[in-house]
Amino acid sequence: MKLNSVARSDVGRKRQINEDAFFRDDERGFYVVADGVGGHNKGEIASREAVEQLTMWIYGASRDLDRLVERVIAGDSECVWEIRRLLESGVKNACYMVFGMAELDPEKKGMSTTLSAMLVRANLAFAVHLGDSRVYRVRKQNVLQLTEDHTLINYKVKHGMMTKQEAEKAAGKNVITRAVGHKDYVQVDTADIDTAAGDRFLLCSDGLHGYFTSDKDVSDLCSDGDLEECAEAAIGMANQRGGKDNITAIVIEVK
């Protein structure tokens, strides 16, 4: 399996600072998007630190990952859960570090960040997630969202406190219920899904997916065409539709 990716990040049309951060490594099959929360509370530092801490964790665990992947290939399905737990532990470590930085520096008090990451190994894609950045898989124009937004609005819909129709018109869509750095500990979501040659993935901040009207927008952007053109088109679409937030997109192709 070979992976190719392109990433683009843009400040958008309304913000002065880009608080998004990202990382991509096709050789190791590891990708991260983070969207800093806090504005004047150093959201850009939180996102950058979270990406760096998680990346260091994954690289430090490379031998364990290789061993687990070999066992998955050999048919040991229990190791899938071990890989998910390893990713979860990496995000919890990043959370602890970002929270600690804010505790030590009053200027960073309250800083935090969303974080969505993906590891592709052994015909599987593993996602780990906090906040409202997203991971999508696009397969022959069929779109599957691997992550679930940790927002107040989505929580209300999920628990029957609000309908989807009401949610579309509700205020406060950007109120995050989980993020890296809010506290020294956080509950982390993980998922795994099969992947095959021809699949494409999109990791993005809400500055992009906030303008999606349906899964067709994701399919139109990512299902085919040159990867660089796909990423540029994603940034262009978000800016054309308002560009009210920072915009980051990583488009990945499996070959």
CATH code at 194? 3.60.40.10
- The pTM assigned to this predicted structure is 0.94
Q: How far apart are CA 14 and CA 189, in angstroms?
A: 31
Determine which of 128-137, 177-186, 245-254 has the lowest per-residue pLDDT on average: 177-186
Query: pLDDT band for position 163 (50/70/90)?
Result: confident
> Mind listing the pLDDT tens digit for each residue in 140-162?
989 999 999 998 888 788 878 88
CA distances from 114 to 17, 56, 70 (A): 16, 18, 31
Name the helix (H) or strand (E) containing 127: strand 124-130
- Residue 131 region, left (φ>0) first, then alpha (ψ -120 to 50), else beta? left
- pLDDT attached to residue 171: 73
- pLDDT attached to residue 174: 75
Q: How far apart are CA 227 and CA 233, in angstroms?
A: 10
- pLDDT attached to residue 40: 57
Cβ atoms of residues 253 and 5 within 8 Å: yes
Query: pLDDT band for position 38 (50/70/90)?
Result: low
Decide if pLDDT at 230 tops 80.
yes
Q: Which domain holds residue 219?
A: 3-254
Structural domain total, the chain: 1
- pLDDT attached to residue 39: 59
